[in-house]
Every structure is written in C-alpha cells, then in structure tokens.
Amino acid sequence: MNWIEPFCSNPDCELHVHAGSPGVVGWGNWAEMPDGRIIGRGLYCHLFWCDSCRREWRAVAAFILPPVGN
C-alpha cells in the first residue's frame, strides 16, 4: 500500500517518509525507530504530524475572517 501523505508533514522530520520509501517497512499510525523508540502520529489541522513534531510545532489552525463593518 502506498499513501500519498507522508508519515509526518514536517519536511525537516526524519519521519517525513511514505510507505514504500527506502528503509520503511509497513504502514500505519506508529513507527518504531532504529533505537527502539515508538512514535505515533495523528491528524492535526488536516495534516499528519508525528507526536514529536506536533508537540514542538504546536500546530494551529488559521482562519481568514471577512472585514467587519464599512
């Protein structure tokens, strides 16, 4: 299976990889790193973020509001 979205949306993250990329085995919402760490991911603001980047970036949603009054 090949996902369009990377595991983490942060292009500077070591988990900015796709299922089927070199060194990636399997697919899903958690990753086991070579050092044994387990890292999950979640959908925040319509993007997938690994747990580490979500905490570091504190992803927020931005809204464009219409002008008030004339």
Q: What is the pLDDT of residue 2?
A: 44
Q: What is the pLDDT of residue 1?
A: 42
Q: What is the pLDDT of residue 63?
A: 61
Q: What is the pLDDT of residue 42?
A: 92
- Using a cut of 0.75, tell me whether the model's pTM lies above it: no
Q: What is the pLDDT of residue 60?
A: 54
The shares of helix, strand and coil residues in the chain, as percent rounded to the nearest 5, are 10, 20, 70
Q: What is the pLDDT of residue 44?
A: 83
- Residues (pLDDT < 50) of the chain are 1-2
Residue ranges per structural domain of the chain: 1-24+34-61
